[in-house]
Amino acid sequence: MGSLYAIHVVEVATASVVLDLWCVNEDIAKYPLPNPALHGFFVRVLAESADPSRPSALADEGPFDDDAVRAHAERFVASVQVRSTANYPGAADELPGVTYDVHVRDARWLAHLRVGDRWDTAAYQTVAVSPFEAWTSEQRNNVSLGLLPSFAREQLPQLCQAVSSYDLDDAGTAIEALGRLGAPMAVHSLIVALGAHDQYSHIAIALALGRIGPPAARAVDTLRRIFTSEPVESRARAAVGFALYRIAEDTAGFAALRAGIRPGADCDVFDALLTLDEASLRELVPDFLRAFAGGLPGDAEAGQLVYDLLALLAARAGAWAEPLRAGVERSLLDENHNVRQRAAKALSALGPPTPAY
């Protein structure tokens, strides 16, 4: 196998090392860089050496095949974090890179390293066993409704690992669950997942980071890099805008979020708006008037979420939401039971019409 990544040792301490990692393989550059929650990759990297005269003591603990790293990686690596994302995702003419902060459980595993060491590696990630084997299909389906099983929080490490699953359904469920849990420990795994050259992935990951809010501050540079790149599909732009606004109160992000309130917008973006504060929701009322005063969006699922939002707007914004009443009343006749139910909820929150004198 040819080299996949270039490694550069930036700092070495007693039980930690800072590594610059750059992709050197154009094919692998199409995919996210290694997930810091999957410690097996970093065990493999630390078992290598830039200088044959300084062999790695960790190499004697190998071989590090898939079964071995799944079972024993935590014995060697205590934690990994993303320190910086100066070039991630990479520009069109550049290969991507990330800086990792790696903490080990025994200083011996770093004794062979020196600042300035460089080497190429063919080390690869071993994806952990799916955390969803204990979940029913109903529990998985309910994640999109914000309903997670009681044991989900106990699975946070496994959910962070599953972000990199080769099973796209597992990866998608993990990303959404981590956002719903508001789990700061997921931020590092979600940052590297943003390297996927897939704007649908960007939507899910950005919404998860936005739900986590200010503790996801480390993701801001990467999100802004995506936000300012061209072209960015409007739904992805709205989702990244939501994340930037929730994490860093970014005004450009809020403007993109406002522009995304329209028929046909991603229903997950509507759902994420439910996390906004009262002042922000009031600012969005004119955008709802512009987009939805005429009635139900074409997509029934989006329509259900819109009326959940309208109920929230009505409860929090009071008279500001009154002009939406006519469109909501029309939706009481919709053929979709869930839409009728949510429209009734919105009308109940609005209360009786304001009398005209």
Integer Cα distance of 323 and 110 in angstroms: 65
pLDDT at residue 208, rounded to an integer: 94
pLDDT at residue 106, rounded to an integer: 94
pLDDT at residue 315, rounded to an integer: 58
pLDDT at residue 319, rounded to an integer: 59
Query: Which sequence spans correspond to the domains of the chain?
Result: 1-126
pLDDT at residue 320, rounded to an integer: 58
pLDDT per residue as tens digits for the range 27-42? 887 788 899 999 999 9
pLDDT at residue 276, rounded to an integer: 80
pLDDT at residue 139, rounded to an integer: 87
Cβ atoms of residues 223 and 206 within 8 Å: yes
Cβ atoms of residues 325 and 347 within 8 Å: yes
Integer Cα distance of 240 and 235 in angstroms: 9
Integer Cα distance of 314 and 210 in angstroms: 23
Cβ atoms of residues 177 and 161 within 8 Å: no
For 330-343, give the DSSP string. Answer: HGGG-S-HHHHHHH
Q: 263 is written with which tokens?
A: 């028929």
Q: Report the chain (357 residues): mean pLDDT per 10 consecutive residues.
A: 89 95 84 91 93 91 89 92 81 79 95 95 88 87 79 90 89 92 93 80 90 93 82 80 92 86 66 76 73 54 57 58 68 74 70 61
pLDDT at residue 92, rounded to an integer: 60
pLDDT per residue as tens digits for the range 280-313? 877 777 777 677 655 545 455 555 556 556 655 5
Integer Cα distance of 107 and 229 in angstroms: 42
**For the chain, percent of residues with pLDDT exceeding 90:** 36
pLDDT per residue as tens digits for the range 35-82? 999 999 999 999 998 888 999 999 999 889 998 988 889 999 999 999
pLDDT at residue 40, rounded to an integer: 93
Cβ atoms of residues 19 and 8 within 8 Å: yes
Burial bucket for residue 74 (CB in 10 Å: 0-12, 13-18, 19+): middle
Mean pLDDT estimate for the chain: 82
pLDDT at residue 334, rounded to an integer: 74
